[in-house]
Amino acid sequence: MAQATPHQPKIPDSTTRPVGGTEFSWCKAVPGGTGVTVLGLLFSKPPPIQNIQNALHNLQNSNPILRSKIHHDSSTNTFHFLTPPNPTIQIETFDSQSTAQIIHTESNGHDQNQTAPFQILQEHEMNRNTWRDLGDVDSDVIYASVYAISDQRFAVFIRMHTAACDRTAAVALLREMLRRVVGGGDGEEEKEEEMNLAIEELIPMEKRNKPFWARGLDMLGYSLNAFRLGNLGFVDAESPRSSKLVRMQLNTEETKSLITGCKSRGIKLCGALAAAGMIASRTSKTLPEYQKEKYAVVTLIDCRSTLDPVLCSNHLGFYHSAIMNTHDVCGETLWELANRCYTSFVNAMNCNKHFSDMSDLNYLMCKALENPGLTSSSSLRTALISVFEDTVIDDSAENEMHKELGLEDYIGCASANGIGPSLAVFDTIRDGKLDCIFVYPSPLHSREQIQDLVDHMKRILVDACNNENQI
């Protein structure tokens, strides 16, 4: 029998671990259409497909979560990460004819002229739900596709299961993949990380405990508040849904003024975005001036820096938590509401509710999935808007790398047509300009409705800054 040479690496066996509580919620949510994370990249020249494939293989080798499969045991309704020893991702390619057909079909022949092909393909990828059927077949957590839009335009998409990759992880993955592609796809040899732990196992002990009665009261409060929440008007609550997106971009001066306005008040951009969304939503209903509307805002927090042990930003997996706050809205200015919104969020953070309420929100999320009738019009809307505590920032070094690759544009967002908010906001400041992606469930909301709402949000943000500068 042949013996392995001393230099021949030992191939590890497949490993498994059960998903954590938050990961379980995503495993339940993704089949319904919420939590398909997609990174879309638009190139002005043919992308180096082999380099991209090599880069992804190397990233899978060093990050077990990326080469994992999600295993569902229907007899026990449990999920596991099954991690084989070798990477498996293969890039799927679509020629220009196939791409044109997909764009035509996705646009329904109506809004193709108004919506850029790249955006249509991003929506198409968000709705390619490989995890839709909860059978006992193992599904990869990551897929890759390349589309030829024309002779001079190509789109590359990385599609991932959110249980294995939150927004921070997706940003880190994108940056590392592009760095490796520029270097030929291989990169330096890296030590393989151990399979990541679930967020629940890393919460500091003193922050995770919650008295039984306090948990019961909070659960009751969340449940009762849900029946009092206002919603953005529903256009079609009966038809099957998919995720669509609308984009809002501010120029350099508008972005600078907005960020300055936030900093001068000691708040983050998330507070201003949530406030603008609530004001625009209430205005869209033409309510009497005295009538209040109560809206829910979900703020997503990257917990890596507060876990035990602390994780770095490029540690892949899902390590976000959420805080839900409700606000009565009736005629406030942007800055008044933004201050109130952000202060409520910070107070909840200071009470560690992003940790202590984690299991409560996961439980309610799963209950809503099982009983859509608990939500208004069975819409599965749990909030008006979701925002991230921190904005993604691009730096100049990355921009030079993008030029070298011919990378003209990129979008990162996740589907939200199952359970979730009416507006899921993914914000980036790129070259000093704010770029926001708003993902919404269609046809529960129409593109025209959301476009009008987002246009109004932009006016609210810009006008608030202009008025401030005039004082």
Under the banding of pLDDT at 50, 70 and 90, the label for residue 185 is low
Q: Provide the pLDDT for residue 228.
A: 80
Q: Which of residues 466 and 174 earns the better pLDDT score?
A: 174
Q: How confident is the model at residue 419 (pLDDT cuts 50, 70, 90)?
A: very high
What is the value of pTM for the model shown?
A: 0.93
Tell me which of 119-128, 358-367, 450-459 is least confident: 358-367
Degrees, nearest 5: CA angle 319-36-434: 75
DSSP for 253-311 reads HHHHHHHHHHHHTT--HHHHHHHHHHHHHHHTTT--TT--EEEEEEEEEE-GGGSSS--
- What pLDDT sits at residue 8? 41
- pLDDT the model gives residue 411: 95
Indicate the residue type of 273.
L
Q: Which residue has the higher pLDDT, 39 or 206?
A: 39
Q: How confident is the model at residue 2 (pLDDT cuts 50, 70, 90)?
A: very low
What is the reported pLDDT for 255?
Answer: 97
> For 450, phi and psi rounded to 5 degrees?
-70, -35
Q: Is the pLDDT of residue 126 over 90?
A: yes
Q: Tell me what the mean pLDDT of segment 72-90 comes to.
A: 91
Tokens 């730096």, located at residue: 395
Q: What is the pLDDT of residue 192?
A: 64
- Segment 210-229 shows an average pLDDT of 61
Tell me the domains of the chain and their CATH numbers: 15-182 (3.30.559.10), 199-470 (3.30.559.30)
434-454 residue pLDDT tens: 999 999 999 999 999 999 999
Residue 117, both tokens: 């092909």
Q: Between 395 and 164, where is the model more confident?
A: 164
Q: 287-332 pLDDT, tens per residue? A: 888 889 999 999 999 999 999 999 999 999 999 999 999 999 998 9
How far apart CA 52 and CA 34 sit, in angstroms, is 27
Residue 308 has φ and ψ, to the nearest 5°, of -130, 105
Using the predicted structure, report yes or no on whether residue 191 has a pLDDT greater than 90: no
Do the beta carbons of residue 273 and residue 437 sit within 8 Å? no
Proportion of the chain above pLDDT 90, given as a percent = 74
Contact 104, 158 (CB under 8 A): no
Confidence of residue 467 (pLDDT cuts 50, 70, 90): confident
How high is the pLDDT of residue 471?
A: 42
Quick check: 374 and 368 in contact, CB under 8 A?
Answer: yes
Residue 215 has pLDDT above 50, yes or no: yes
pLDDT 10s digits, 20-29:
999 999 999 9
Would you place residue 115 in the very low, low, confident or very high pLDDT band (cuts 50, 70, 90)?
Answer: low
DSSP-assigned beta bridge partners for residue 468: none
Percent of the chain with pLDDT over 70: 89
pLDDT of 7: 43
- pLDDT, greater one: 208 or 49: 49
Cα–Cα dist 34/325, whole Å:
21
**Which amino acid is residue 67, in one-letter code?**
R
At residue 247, does pLDDT exceed 70?
yes
8 Å CB contact between 91 and 145: yes
What CA–CA distance (Å, rounded) separates 96 from 407? 19
Describe the chain by its helix, strand, coil percentages, rounded to 5: 40, 25, 35
**pLDDT tier, 136 (very low <50, low <70, confident <90, very high otherwise):** confident
Q: What are the phi and psi torsion angles at 140 (to 5°)?
A: -60, 155
pLDDT at 11: 45
Q: What is the pLDDT of residue 111?
A: 54
